[in-house]
Amino acid sequence: MKVWDMYKIAVIPGDGIGKEVMEATLHVLESSNVDFEYSFADAGDEYAEKTGIPLSEETVNLVKQSQACLFGAAGETAADVIVKLRKELDLYVNLRPVKSYPGTKYLFEGLDFVIVRENTEGLYSGLEEYTQDGATATRVITKAASERICKFAFEYAEKTARSKVTAVHKANVLKKTDGVFKDSFYKVAENFSHIETDDRYVDATAMFFITQPQMFDVVVTTNLYGDILSDEGAGLVGGLGLIPSANIGETNGLFEPVHGSAPDIAGKGLANPSAMILSAVLMLEYLDEYDEARRLENALLKVLDEGKVVTKDLGGESSTMEMAEEVRSKLEAL
């Protein structure tokens, strides 16, 4: 069912293979039942070489005025681009699915859980300074940010028919900062008594990801822990080339594959477009276009399952755009 007649989407292809996977994804979306109005902008290394800055205020404003943003990849300036956009738009959620797809190098069949990472504070607050002996970093954990991210995790579990939310922390050692996060989690959980809850230490969680990942459904955690666990999750299901991500705030969302710009293969048509296409799936979910999100995901799933028209990293010989064309064909048939 259509929620809006036309969605205004900011598109930032970025650097390297970002441009290729973006072109492929937009080609697939042309056959969507949802209509988009795209506004294109530049950011990243190549833009910095031309202008001296990796991200302009005009681009930030364009994203603010859009209902969502699709972002391809950035090279060495990735932090200057993505971190600034997260701060400017208060994108306090980083959402990373961990899902096994057919035809990929997953370690466990049937995995399907989601990591919800707080995106604005923790050790990534940028409060570092040199000292006579070396350097120090200040870890900021607030009740407001902790409750906000936990509330999102529970609401996301409700919206996506998931039944369990796990908080990950290290409150046995970091008694004050992680203590605030743990207490905030259980305070929020009181309003979602129909959802199962538990909490685990981050080191134990890292082990369980490898030994018993099926025990997780929605994982909510702080910034640094979420960053590390997300990449471990990617390793469970075939690597970063298959992993999408969402950065979500109260009024906007930015959707990007977690792979980098891969300059070594850029321009060769070798890039796997799956993560960018799956990022578009997350965008459709964010826009409450769930039926269309499932159509797009299922079209990609059929292509992966058949394994005939896929890129080299998936065991095939097809180019980025050839694989995109096959996904589009499957989408049109659904």
DSSP 122: B
* pLDDT at res. 55: 97
11-28: pLDDT as tens digits = 999 999 999 999 999 999
- Mean pLDDT for 240-266 is 94
Q: Indicate the angle between helix axes 17-29 and 290-306, nearest 10 degrees.
A: 110
Give Cβ neighbours of residue 183 (< 8 Å, ≥ 6 apart): none
**Is 3 a residue whose pLDDT tops 70?**
no
**Is 83 a residue whose pLDDT tops 80?**
yes
Q: How far apart are CA 259 and CA 261, in angstroms?
A: 7
* pLDDT at res. 79: 86
Q: Which residue has the higher pLDDT, 216 or 125?
A: 216
**Is 5 a residue whose pLDDT tops 90?**
no
Q: How far apart are CA 166 and CA 197, in angstroms?
A: 6
Q: Which fold has domain 112-236?
A: Isopropylmalate Dehydrogenase (3.40.718)
**Is 1 a residue whose pLDDT tops 70?**
no
In CATH, the number for domain 1-94+240-334 is 3.40.718.10
Among 41, 69, 42, 43, which residue's Cα sits nearest to residue 54?
43
Is residue 64 very low, low, confident or very high in pLDDT (cuts 50, 70, 90)?
very high
- Mean pLDDT for 135-152 is 97
Is residue 149 very low, low, confident or very high in pLDDT (cuts 50, 70, 90)?
very high
Among 28, 53, 65, 98, which residue's Cα sits nearest to residue 238?
98
* pLDDT at res. 17: 97
Mean pLDDT of the chain: 95
* pLDDT at res. 23: 98
The two three-digit tokens of residue 327, written as one number: 């996904």
Give Cβ neighbours of residue 267 (< 8 Å, ≥ 6 apart): 20
185-201: pLDDT as tens digits = 999 999 999 999 999 99
Q: How far apart are CA 4 and CA 215, in angstroms?
A: 37
Q: How far apart are CA 53 and CA 45, in angstroms?
A: 9
C-beta of residue 98 within 8 angstroms of C-beta of residue 236 = yes
Whether the domain at 1-94+240-334 and the domain at 112-236 fall into the same CATH topology: yes
Q: How far is CA 237 from the centre of its chain?
A: 15
The residues that are catalytic are 124, 170, 203, 227, 231
94-104: pLDDT as tens digits = 999 999 999 99
Instruction: State the DSSP H helix or E strand holding residue 9, giving kind and residue range, or none if neither.
Output: strand 7-14
CB atoms within 10 A of CB 227: 18
CB atoms within 10 A of CB 215: 14
Give Cβ neighbours of residue 91 (< 8 Å, ≥ 6 apart): 85, 119, 247, 248, 249, 252, 253, 254
Among 32, 20, 19, which residue's Cα sits nearest to residue 321?
20
**Domain edges within the chain:** 1-94+240-334, 112-236
